[in-house]
Amino acid sequence: MSEWNTGNVSRYDPKGKTWKTWKLPGEGPHAYAVYVDDQDKVWVSDWGANAMVRFDPETEKFQAFPSDRRGANVRQILGRPGEVWAPESGADRLVVYRTR
């Protein structure tokens, strides 16, 4: 789940009834949309960095992909095997990330 005010992405484990939280990289992150791809990588739109961020829960590492347009504002992330789709509502375009 994304946490706008804190800039975190979090996961709840219903078996253990526990939460685990990771802070997005950079200054002033604002996590918005979240999507888990077919390789179990977590994609988060970060409005504070104007970027898409990929998170690997196994290594707990982030990789940021800044937009080349101001105010991209990705509100929803979708995809299919091998692709992640980030519709930039503020830039009026669809960005596709190829994951294979």
Question: One digit per residue, pLDDT tens: the chain, 100 residues?
Answer: 999 999 999 999 999 999 999 999 999 999 999 999 999 999 999 999 999 999 999 999 999 999 999 999 999 999 999 999 999 999 999 999 999 8
Confidence at residue 91, expressed as pLDDT on a 0 to 100 scale: 96
Predicted TM-score (pTM) of the model is 0.94
Confidence at residue 19, expressed as pLDDT on a 0 to 100 scale: 97
Containing H/E element for 52? strand 51-56
Using the 8-state DSSP alphabet, how is residue 74 labeled? B
Instruction: Give Cα 32 to chain centroid, integer Å.
Output: 7
